[in-house]
Amino acid sequence: MITSKILHTIKPSLETSIGNITFSFPVCNGSGVWSSSRDELIKLGSSDAGAFVYKSMTIHERSGNPGPRMFMNDFLSLNSMGLPNKGVKYYCDIVNEFRKYNKPQIASIAGCSEEEYFTLFHKINSYPFDAIEVNLSCPNIVGKRVFAYDLDACSRILSKMRSETTKSLGVKLPPYVQRHEIEKMAKQLMVLGIDFVTLINCYPLGAVINADTELVSLKPNNGIGGLGGNALKPIALGQILLYNQYTGGKLNIIGLGGVETGRDVYEFMLAGASAVGIATTLLHEGLSAFTRIKRELITILKNKHISRLKDKIGTVRYWN
């Protein structure tokens, strides 16, 4: 009884790592949310977020798709943002200054061709970003390939980058619908020596229709966009479990998809995520979501008498 009381007052460690970077708190933003402009990034830096994940960068600034390009309700989000971002130079110009926030800074890059990915990579690689997340799963630009659905193209892009950087290198993937696709990708990422995988980007090609107005919710791409939010959580958990199984827990995972609470973060970590991103929740609630989730997570750990969150990564129980 006394021991349990003492354990309850000790602050648990929330520290985890992704590749060679350490998160003092494992919850970050999903790329693009609060991370497109200098002002947003300053606020993200001052928040309880465990790391910065920059909006996916292209070579030149893009204004993105015309609106309405984002729809949200209590259960889901649907977006067709179309990669609005300030261009790679803008983010390279601020990364050094933002080291003052003492959080890992993860650059996200998105090209329209293999050549563009390399141009972006070479630029980013010479700046003090702590990690590079190669977004091979951006779904919202008609005519732009989703490279993640082509294993050979992914391998070409990632193996060249791996040979040229010592930074933590990761890839952001979409959900796959067949088990063998996940197995092949997971094993290939291990062979290539990739440090982390971000699972998952939105579920592509969704739509929402309003019976009253008889309108689709989004303007771009005739109403088609990527599904996010709570509706995505079971899909994200399934993908994380499978990647974790196929890599024997040796590939670090940033889990993303429908995370709203500290309890969700805990479930994602049981499934095998070493860090967790929030996107739709951050849009709904703002940056105070990090503070709330941190509080909730600490309460769970205290109630379960867990002193180090990282000990729980991948420890989900299965039925015999």
Q: How far apart are CA 140 and CA 45, in angstroms?
A: 28
- Report in angstroms how near the CB of residue 39 gets to ligand RRO at its nearest: 19
SS3 content of the chain, % helix, strand, coil (to 5): 40, 20, 40
Is there binding between residue 202 and ligand RRO (CB under 6 A)?
yes
Q: With respect to ligand RRO, which residue has the nearer C-beta, 35 or 140?
A: 140
Is there binding between residue 280 and ligand RRO (CB under 6 A)?
no
Stretch that binds ligand RRO, among 80-88, 142-150, 181-189, 257-265 (CB under 6 A): 80-88
**Amino acid at site 14:** L
Q: How far apart are CA 284 and CA 99, in angstroms?
A: 27
Q: How far apart are CA 236 and CA 259, in angstroms?
A: 10
User: By three-state DSSP, how is residue 95 classified?
Assistant: helix
Q: How far apart are CA 130 and CA 93, in angstroms?
A: 15
Which of 79, 221, 274, 280 touches ligand RRO (CB under 6 A)?
79
Is there binding between residue 82 and ligand RRO (CB under 6 A)?
yes
- Evaluate the omega torsion of the peptide bond into residue 42 and state whether it is cis, within 30 degrees of 0: no
Is there binding between residue 81 and ligand RRO (CB under 6 A)?
yes
Go through 112-130 and write b for each residue having 16 or more CB atoms within 10 A of its CB, e for each that does not.
beeeebbbbbebbbebebb
Stretch that binds ligand RRO, among 77-85, 142-150, 249-257, 307-315 (CB under 6 A): 77-85
Which of 21, 27, 110, 216 touches ligand RRO (CB under 6 A)?
110
Interface with ligand RRO in residues 132-171 (CB under 6 A): 135, 137-138, 140
Q: Which of 28, 92, 112, 138 is catalytic?
A: 138
Which of 26, 206, 223, 226 touches ligand RRO (CB under 6 A)?
226
Q: How far apart are CA 25 and CA 197, in angstroms?
A: 18
Is there binding between residue 274 and ligand RRO (CB under 6 A)?
no
Cα 58 to Cα 73, 180, 205, 214: the distances in Å are 29, 31, 22, 35
Cα 17 to Cα 91, 197, 301: the distances in Å are 24, 13, 18
Interface with ligand RRO in residues 44-73 (CB under 6 A): 56
Q: At what angle do helices 88-95 and 114-125 cross, to 10 degrees?
A: 20
- Report in angstroms how near the CB of residue 298 gets to ligand RRO at its nearest: 30
- Mark whether 202 is an active-site residue: no
Q: With respect to ligand RRO, which residue has the nearer C-beta, 81 or 237?
A: 81
- Report in angstroms how near the CB of residue 1 gets to ligand RRO at its nearest: 49
Is there binding between residue 259 and ligand RRO (CB under 6 A)?
no
Active-site amino acid positions: 138
Which residues of this protein are in contact with ligand RRO, per CB under 6 A?
32, 56, 79-83, 110, 135, 137-138, 140, 201-202, 226
